[in-house]
Amino acid sequence: MNTNQTLKAKKNNGKNIFVSYREKDSSGETGRLVDSLKQHFEDDQIFLDIDKIEPGVDFSDAISHSLECCDVMLAIIGPQWMGMSNETSRIKKEGDWVRLEIATALERKIRVVPVLVDGAELPNAEELPEDLQALLKRQAYEISNKRWRYDTDQLIEFLEKNIGVIPRKIDDEKPVKKVSLSGTVKLVLLIAGGFFILSIVLYAMGIGQEPEPINHNNPPIHNNNDGPGTEQDYNNPDNNVKNITGNTTPEKIPVKNIEGTWMDANGLYYLVIAQDGEELGVTSYALSGDQSGEGSGYIEGNKVNMSVNVFNVGNISLRGTLSNDNINFKGTSTIESDGTPYTEALHLVKNNKAAY
């Protein structure tokens, strides 16, 4: 971070966030997280290390200046965070800049929050150098791809309420400018409004309406008293109301076939669905092939309702509609974790091949 950026950060009079990560480990997840943070906080409150270090600048000096105006560090840890190189962990090398960032922050008593992404876990004590041992005593936040938005919302709430990072200001609504209409325009609008009201009155009186055509294929429904059918006659099967075919109930919509393997459109997981008429059995899997949950559901026509208990996550309700070609299933998924529901869009695609 250069001097101008440091001064700008100090002028915002709020708490600032430093994001530490290893590029070859979690650049995609880090970029996605920073985008989420910038939707809630000001851009100059968030510092992404690699974006702020200019060519030719000493890493130690750059890190030192960057941390001068930061109040909390998010240490993004993915599966390759240790940085294995020639069977030696890069994190144990004194010149490793990820180690320098975190060690400097810990030494300056800056709050360091480990953020676990892509299924990563905190390393063991013997895997870290002495100056990073304090990292293991920090409460970590896990951000899962399956519940990304929910997890990032929880992290943002923590930064705002516990750290004191001030959220982005919402611009006040601009006052609506009143337009003065000329007398002629007012007269035209008045006349047009009068005609509009008159047309509504005439329509309500039935004047000018076309008579309803008689549909010979669907004669009016009558009740058992040979009088005109009422709304209750239409809806109450006990009245023995009959349609044109003589059936006492409307024809049932055929149940569509949803059995098979369904892939999440985002490529995060897949479901294997077994079907017995309207009843469904559901098993969820990670892309590695490991089972991640199980549940049940039902289908009515092309409307699907399923509930899956995902291990270590919670209950997920899947509701949506099956396409006419039985290939796409779109709707919503609601995650219920720790009593807090969160709903997002759902899109599953039928996989005609064998499960992964």
Instruction: For residues 226-233, give the mean pLDDT.
Output: 47
What confidence category does residue 11 fall into, taking pLDDT thresholds of 50, 70 and 90? very low
Instruction: For residues 192-210, give the mean pLDDT.
Output: 61
Q: Is the pLDDT of residue 74 over 50?
A: yes
pLDDT tens-digit map of 245-279:
455 555 566 888 999 999 988 777 889 999 999 99
Cβ 194 vs Cβ 200: under 8 Å: no
Of the two residues 191 and 2, the one the predictor is more confident about is 191
Of the two residues 39 and 235, the one the predictor is more confident about is 39
CATH no. for 3-163: 3.40.50.10140
Nearest Cα to 258, choosing from 325, 315, 316?
325
**Which residues, other chains included, contact 42 with Cβ-Cβ below 8 Å and sequence gap of 6+?**
12, 14, 166, 168
pLDDT tens-digit map of 285-305:
887 788 888 999 999 989 999
**Which residues, other chains included, contact 83 with Cβ-Cβ below 8 Å and sequence gap of 6+?**
22, 24, 25, 89, 90, 91, 96, 98
pLDDT for 274: 93
Provide the β-strand partners of residue 320. 304, 331
Provide the β-strand partners of residue 337. 340
Q: How far apart (Å, rounded) are the C-alpha atoms in residues 62 and 48?
A: 12
CA atoms 179, 183, 185, 186: torsion sign = positive
Alpha carbons within 13 angstroms on the beta-carbon side of residue 160 total 13
Q: Is the pLDDT of residue 233 over 50?
A: no
- Percent of the chain beyond pLDDT 70? 66
- The answer to whether the 3-163 and 260-351 domains have the same CATH topology is no
pLDDT tens-digit map of 88-118:
788 999 888 899 999 999 999 999 999 999 8
**Which residues, other chains included, contact 158 with Cβ-Cβ below 8 Å and sequence gap of 6+?**
113, 141
- The CATH superfamily assigned to 260-351 is Avidin-like (2.40.128.30)
pLDDT tens-digit map of 36-64:
898 899 888 898 765 556 667 777 777 77
> DSSP string covering 196-238, please?
HHHHHHHHHTTTTPPPPPP-TTSPPPB-TTSSBPPHHHHH-GG
pLDDT for 87: 63
Report the predicted TM-score, pTM, of the whole model to 2 decimal places.
0.49
Of the two residues 217 and 116, the one the predictor is more confident about is 116
pLDDT for 19: 93
Question: In the predicted model, what is the mean pLDDT of the chain?
Answer: 77
What confidence category does residue 341 fall into, taking pLDDT thresholds of 50, 70 and 90? confident
Of the two residues 4 and 40, the one the predictor is more confident about is 40
Of the two residues 260 and 182, the one the predictor is more confident about is 260
Which sequence spans correspond to the domains of the chain?
A: 3-163, 260-351
Cα 157–chain centre separation: 16
Select, from the ranges 128-137, 145-154, 178-187, 193-202, the one with the highest average predicted confidence (pLDDT). Answer: 128-137
